[in-house]
Structure 1
Amino acid sequence: MARRATIKDVARASGLSTATIDRALNGRTKVREETLRKIAEAAREVGYHARGVLNYRLDASVPELRLGLLLLKEKQPFYKAFRAEAERAIAARTDIRGSVTIRFAQSQSPAEFAELLSELGRVSDAVAGIAVNHPALDKAVGDLKSKGVPTFSLLNDFAQGIRRSYIGLNNIKVGRQAAWMLTQTASPGKVAIFVGGNRWHGHDLREVGFRAFMRENAPGYETLEALVNLETRQLTYEATLNLLDRHPDLRGIYVAGGGMEGAIAALREARPPGKVRLVVNEVTPDSRAALLDGYIQMVLVTPLQELCQSTIDLAIKARAEPNETAFEQHFLDPRIVLPEII
């Protein structure tokens, strides 16, 4: 059987580096048309399977979409997976000549989020991102809108009434699902919830859903005052140990945002598996191990593939209908992961 051609074969035939070939195929950065044509010819010569992608990029009749994407915590497993899925989704499209420019916020500063959104807007046809709620974001999104650059809020809805669409989970339902799981697995008693902070609207909604379910369906459970962890491991770790010390009868914890690694570490240190039931968001190496060890009872997972595909679809729609004024909410269903199906 003939050996399948690889990027190295294309690089050798074109006289270019494998890094240049990779950028041309995945659209991470702009590659000159002359270079694209050289790569496409080399791909044709060696029979490289992805040459059709290059041909689409060279076809001027195919509309171009430059997507700007703002994420957090570049080294965190969830955002690494988010980046990879966004690049994969844009590279797989044959109805557009697509590229994605990704920036990572280093803090939760509204000024930094606003600056990065504005920076992305200068080089993109549409911008999507995860950011906090703050008037600085309203202004940045309003400025982009006035320049014809639609903005999409992802997972946490910011700049409501200004942004084009919210794409993400129905956070009230997510909170209710977390509460349901705790009531099914923990005996009546005290339960706690961690939120990232009051600038994360999505976390507020998850807390609302969590408390509403408990109030309506679980009168035997007492929901303690919400704890703010700024989505950090260390704060969550310290607060969980303090929580366990102050409430030895604690039955369950829901970490509504980031920082779950701290809660896992504290429970491993202070309680046997399953003594305090834990519900978190997103499968990472830490949460996967805790599921298998019995420290986590359920993980609510964002469907990243669907999220990225929907963002691209809505960005294309916004480009085609620039005068559309509808402010949409595009809800995705989370994937529920339990210990027995990990």
Structure 2
Amino acid sequence: MARPTIKDLAKAADVSVATVNRVLAGAENVRLATRQHVQNVAARIGFYGLGAIQSRVAASRPKLRLGALLLQPHRPFYKNLAQTLREAAAARADVDIDLRIDFIEDLSPQNTADHAKDLARHCQAVGIVSAVHPIVTEAINEIERSGVKVFSLVAPMSSTGQIPYIGLDNWKLGRTAAWGFAHLCRTPGKIGILVGNPRYRNQEMTEAGFRSYLREFAPDLSLLEPQSTFESAAVAQEITEHLLVKHHDLAGLYVNGGGVSGAIEAVRAQGKSGKLTMIGHDLTDTTRSALLDDTLTILMSHSLDRFGLEAIDAMVSALQGSHRNLNRIIPFEVLTRENL
């Protein structure tokens, strides 16, 4: 068969020959959607000039510089989140995204503020995971005054909604966790709760929803005072060991924040796997293993693929002047060993 000509491409794409020529020439007076349509049809019919069309379409896409500031890179959740953000940015056909992702090991407010301001100097929009602190708030105000759009990732940084938020409905998350304990705890008793840091607004809201449900529907379950792990697995392990020794009537353990791997190790070491209702957050290799051996009873997890798409779309929409709601609430997944 003869190779497809420009005329063949125009007919297959239902556009004029002049439009195909303008696409091949990289003319500015062709809509991006039309360029992409012609490119897709060229690939389908095997048009000889596909490479030229692809380069012209790529050159015509708006170029945006986005950034994300995530927490400690050794934590699987944030490694996975970074990967899904990269994939979502690369998948956008309408814009050319230069995505910079920085991790911070030291979670102190000043270090977070300094890294956020440095990232913003290179970006037009940034997504930040951070605890709420006046030093961080002031840094964000400074960034926004410079014209860079700021988004809260995972943890809301504003109770007023002034900073767009991409993440879970944390009130609903906490009430769902409490529902699990109310229905799965075999006997009345105490519920231990571990939080990473009370300054993370998502953890604060989750705890509030958790307490609300238990007060309403499970008065026979007594919630112990929450203890902070400071996002450390070692601290979580030590706290969990102490709870298991001190409270013989411990009916459940809720890990609402970082350090779940340490809590899992402590429960296993004490021989409590399958004997204690334990609920945690986010699917990783460690939590998957804990679900399978019944150390974790329920896992409530971000849908990371959806998170990445929504986060990138919100930042792009903001820079394109869209009037769409920039807050994106991501549905969470409820996992057990039976539906992994």
Do the two structures share a fold, i.e. TM-score over 0.5?
A: yes
- The aligned amino acid for 1:63 is P
Alpha-carbon deviations, 1:123-181, whole Å to 9, x = none?
11100021110111211111121121110001111145585401100111111111111
SS at match of 1:108: coil
Residue 180 of structure 1 corresponds to 179
Q: For 1:94 and 1:57, locate their aligned partners in 2 and report how far apart those are by CA, in whole Å.
A: 9
SS at match of 2:121: helix
Please say if residues 150 and 163 of structure 1, whose CA atoms lie closer than 8 Å, have aligned partners that are also in contact: no
* Aligned positions of 1:85-234 closer than 5 A: 85-161=84-160, 163-187=162-186, 188-234=188-234
Please say if residues 68 and 128 of structure 1, whose CA atoms lie closer than 8 Å, have aligned partners that are also in contact: yes
Q: For 1:51 and 1:180, locate their aligned partners in 2 and report how far apart those are by CA, in whole Å.
A: 56
Q: CA, structure 1 residues 304+51, in 2 after alignment: closer, same or farther (shift >3 Å)?
A: farther
Offset of residue 217 of structure 1: 0.5
Q: CA, structure 1 residues 148+339, in 2 after alignment: closer, same or farther (shift >3 Å)?
A: same
* Aligned positions of 1:277-292 closer than 5 A: 277-292=277-292
* Aligned positions of 1:1-342 closer than 5 A: 55=55, 58-60=58-60, 62-161=61-160, 163-187=162-186, 188-321=188-321, 329-342=327-340
Offset of residue 198 of structure 1: 2.1
Alpha-carbon deviations, 1:65-106, whole Å to 9, x = none?
211100011122111111111111101110101121011011
Q: CA, structure 1 residues 114+271, in 2 after alignment: closer, same or farther (shift >3 Å)?
A: same
SS at match of 1:127: strand
Offset of residue 52 of structure 1: 9.3
- The aligned amino acid for 1:106 is E
- The aligned amino acid for 1:174 is L
SS at match of 1:266: helix
SS at match of 2:171: helix
Q: CA, structure 1 residues 243+138, in 2 after alignment: closer, same or farther (shift >3 Å)?
A: same
Alpha-carbon deviations, 1:252-298, whole Å to 9, x = none?
01101110111111111113322111100011111111111111111
Please say if residues 197 and 257 of structure 2, whose CA atoms lie closer than 8 Å, have aligned partners that are also in contact: no
Please say if residues 194 and 226 of structure 1, whose CA atoms lie closer than 8 Å, have aligned partners that are also in contact: yes
Offset of residue 234 of structure 1: 0.6
Q: For 1:284 and 1:200, locate their aligned partners in 2 and report how far apart those are by CA, in whole Å.
A: 21
- Alpha-carbon RMSD across the aligned residues, in angstroms, is 2.3
SS at match of 1:238: helix
Offset of residue 58 of structure 1: 3.7
Alpha-carbon deviations, 1:194-235, whole Å to 9, x = none?
111221111111110111100001011101111111111111
Identity of aligned pairs, percent? 32
Q: For 2:52 and 2:157, locate their aligned partners in 1 and report how far apart those are by CA, in whole Å.
A: 38
Q: For 1:203 and 1:52, locate their aligned partners in 2 and report how far apart those are by CA, in whole Å.
A: 51
Please say if residues 138 and 162 of structure 1, whose CA atoms lie closer than 8 Å, have aligned partners that are also in contact: no
Q: CA, structure 1 residues 245+71, in 2 after alignment: closer, same or farther (shift >3 Å)?
A: same
Alpha-carbon deviations, 1:19-56, whole Å to 9, x = none?
xxxxxxxxxxxxxxxxxxxxxxxxx9xx9xx9799637
Offset of residue 341 of structure 1: 1.2
Q: For 2:174 and 2:200, locate their aligned partners in 1 and report how far apart those are by CA, in whole Å.
A: 14
- The aligned amino acid for 2:173 is V
Q: For 1:303 and 1:133, locate their aligned partners in 2 and report how far apart those are by CA, in whole Å.
A: 24
Unaligned 5+ runs, structure 2? 1-42
TM-score normalised by L of structure 2: 0.81
State the 4+ residue runs in structure 1 displaced beyond 6 angstroms.
50-54
Unaligned 5+ runs, structure 1? 1-43
Q: For 2:213 and 2:54, locate their aligned partners in 1 and report how far apart those are by CA, in whole Å.
A: 51
Offset of residue 320 of structure 1: 2.1
- The aligned amino acid for 1:297 is T
Please say if residues 171 and 209 of structure 1, whose CA atoms lie closer than 8 Å, have aligned partners that are also in contact: yes
Q: CA, structure 1 residues 176+53, in 2 after alignment: closer, same or farther (shift >3 Å)?
A: farther
- The aligned amino acid for 1:258 is G
Which is higher, the Rg of structure 1 or of structure 2?
2
Please say if residues 171 and 203 of structure 1, whose CA atoms lie closer than 8 Å, have aligned partners that are also in contact: yes
Q: How many residues align?
A: 292
